[in-house]
Structure 1
Amino acid sequence: MLAAGAALTALAPAEAAGGCGPGFHRGPYGGCRPNRRPVLVAPAAPVVGVYYGGRGYWDGHRYWRHRERWHGGWRYR
């Protein structure tokens, strides 16, 4: 008898959303609220002229180990 009850309990689906339906859940006052989308954080793009450790200075196209002032701007080497 106990085994039959355990088998039926295991087959019954769980109501995790509390009857709100897919994409919703119960709020603190019992109302249905939409689930929030996960926040994805992407790494920032490299900034021109910034030194990145282990790589070098980014000039917009590639990394350079050294840079120097040259005619009012920067020359990368």
Structure 2
Amino acid sequence: MKRMIGLILAAGVAVAAAGTADSREGCGPGFHRGPYNGCRPNRGPGFGGPVVVGNYYHGRGYWDGRRYWQHRDRWHGGWRYR
């Protein structure tokens, strides 16, 4: 009886150790887990480099630091986004 309990405990420890090792494996820098546990690249608002405030990005608009705007005008010595 004691031997059976020892075998069950040993098997439980082996399964727990294997599960922990699998869950620790990451995708590496610049990647994250996607659907179905696949690795996907991290893509920020600019999709290819740092996003600069005030620049126009084709297909998106002007970036003001929070969101994209389609139009901007000079207004009181600065920019107004609409």
Q: TM-score w.r.t. structure 1 length? A: 0.44
- The structure that is helix-richer by fraction is 2
